[in-house]
Amino acid sequence: MAVAVISEFNPFHNGHKYLLNKAKNTASEPVIAVMSGSFVQRGEVAICDKFARARAALQNGADLVLELPCVYSVATAARFAAAGTEIAQAFDCTRYLAFGCETDDINLLLSAANSDKNDEVRSIIKNEMKSGGYYPRALENAVRAVLGDKTADVLTAPNNVLAVEYLRNISPKIKPMPIKRIGAEHDSRVAKGSIASASHIRELLRRGEDAGAYMPTSTGEITYPENLERILLYKLRSMTADEIALLPDVGEGLENRIFTAASKYNSVKEIINEIKTKRYTHARIRRIMICALLGITEEMQNFPIDYVYVLGFTNEGAKLLKHCKKTVITSAASGMKLGGSTSRLLEKDIFATDIAALAYNTPKSRGLDFITPVAKEYSVRV
C-alpha cells in the first residue's frame, strides 16, 4: 500500500518535509510523489532542476518520485490536478492521497468539491461568465450565494483550490488525507519559525540571501526567470495570432491581445500588464506564455498519460513500481522509442529541461534527461 502526494517542491522546504512525514506516519505506508518538472503551475521556470528536487524529496520522506508531464504542470488547476491524480491512481497500491491545504475539514472540502454538481451554482456561474467573469471567482461567488460563506471561503485559499480539484478526480478506493499547512501562509513574505513559503524562499535565494534555515537540503544552482525573457519575447513575436489561438486557455479573441502586446512592448511584465483583465489573470497569462515558449498546444493538454517517468526512488519505492498499470520509464532514450502520445509528452519534458537549462546565470548543457541517472536513496523511516 502507499500514500500519494502531488507536488512541485519549488524548492523543497521544511513545510514539504512536514507534509511528507505527516503523510507517511499517518498512513504507515511509503510515499509516492508526483512532481512538476522543469516548469511549474504558476507559469514559471522551476527554481532548480527536477533531479535535485527529486533527490531532496527522497532524502526527506518520499519513496518514489515521478514527473508530472510539463504539458500538465503548466496547466490550469483543474488539469494539473486531473493529471496528477491519474498518475497517482496508476498504482494499484495507492490507498491515500495526501495534500497540504489551509483547512483540513474534509466535509467543507467535499462540499466545495461537489458544488459544481449543484444546478443553482452552475446557473450563477454561467451568468457571471457571460458578463466577462473569471471562472474561479464566479465559482466562489456562486458557492457563497448558494452554499454559504464557510464553503465559499474554502475556495479563496490557493492550496484549498487544488485540494478541491483532487477530490473531484480521485476514485472511491482512495481515501483523501488533508493535512493542514503549518507556519507561513501561501505566498507570505514573512517566515514563521523554520517554515517559510516557497515564494519567500525563492525571493531570498534569487537575492543571494541565505534561506538555509527553511530548507532541509540545499538547492544548488538556481534559475532566474529573467534569463528566459528574450527568448520568450522572440517566440511571441515569431507567432501569428492564429498560432497563439492554438495555445491552452486562449479564446474569445485573447490571441489578438497577446499578439498586439507582444508587438508593442519590450518586456514580459509590460505585455502581461497590457493583457491582464479581471478574466485574464497574471497566472493565466504567464501559463499561456510558457506554453508558447515550449510549444504546448490545447490539443496536447488532452493527450492521455500512458506512462510514468521515474526521477528517483528508495529501496521501498522501487518495490512500488511493480504495482503500476502504466508503462514505467526510467530512461528518456527508451521512453522516446515508444511512440504515440507517450513520446510526444516525454519530448516536451525533455525540451522543457533544455529550455530551463538556459535560465541559470551560467547555462547548463542540453540533454540532461539523457545523462542524469535516476536518483536512488535508502528508505528512511520518519
Read off the pLDDT of residues 224-266 as tens digits, 9 standing for 90 and up: 999 999 999 999 999 999 999 999 999 888 999 999 999 999 9
- Give per-residue pLDDT as tens, 98-145: 999 999 999 999 999 999 899 999 999 988 888 777 788 888 999 999
In this prediction, residue 380 carries a pLDDT of 55
Predicted confidence band of residue 191 (pLDDT cuts 50, 70, 90): confident
In this prediction, residue 52 carries a pLDDT of 96
* Selection from 250, 248, 226 nearest residue 361 by Cα: 226
Residue 318 or residue 382, greater confidence: 318
The residue whose grid cell reads 521501498 is 316
Cell of 307: 506512462
Mean pLDDT over the full length of the chain? 94
Cβ–Cβ < 8 Å for 274, 265: yes
Cβ–Cβ < 8 Å for 266, 226: no
* Selection from 82, 146, 152, 150 nearest residue 118 by Cα: 146
Strand, helix or coil for residue 194: coil
Residue 200 or residue 278, greater confidence: 200
User: CA 89, 92, 96, 102: dihedral to nearest 10 degrees?
Assistant: -10
Global pTM reads: 0.94
Helix H or strand E encompassing 7: strand 2-7
In this prediction, residue 187 carries a pLDDT of 62
In this prediction, residue 186 carries a pLDDT of 64
In this prediction, residue 381 carries a pLDDT of 52
180 has a pLDDT exceeding 60: yes
- β-pairing, 307-314 with 175-180? unpaired
- Give per-residue pLDDT as tens, 9-30: 999 999 999 999 999 999 999 9
Cell of 79: 488539469
| φ/ψ of residue 195, rounded to 5 | -110, 125
How much of the chain, in percent, has pLDDT values that exceed 90?
87
Angle at 353 between CA 3 and CA 232, to 5 degrees: 125
Task: Please report, for the chain, the start and end positions of each structural domain, with discontinuous segments joined by +.
Answer: 2-102+161-224+304-377, 107-156, 232-299
The residue whose grid cell reads 502507499 is 2
How many Å apart are CA 83 and CA 79, to the nearest integer? 6
- Give per-residue pLDDT as tens, 335-351: 999 999 999 999 999 99
Cell of 160: 484549498
User: End-to-end alpha-carbon separation of the chain, Å?
Assistant: 17
How many Å apart are CA 61 and CA 84, to the nearest integer? 19
How many Å apart are CA 300 and CA 345, to the nearest integer? 8
Cell of 97: 492521497
Maximum distance among all alpha carbons in the chain? Answer: 56
- Give per-residue pLDDT as tens, 153-162: 999 888 999 9
Domain range 2-102+161-224+304-377, CATH architecture:
3-Layer(aba) Sandwich (3.40)
**87-101, 181-195, 268-282: which range is least confident on average?**
181-195
In this prediction, residue 313 carries a pLDDT of 98
Specify burial of residue 117 (Cβ count, 10 A radius: 0-12, 13-18, 19+). exposed
Predicted confidence band of residue 277 (pLDDT cuts 50, 70, 90): confident
Q: Residue range 286-298: average pLDDT?
A: 97
How many Å apart are CA 67 and CA 343, to the nearest integer? 14
Preceding omega of 11 cis (within 30 degrees of 0): yes
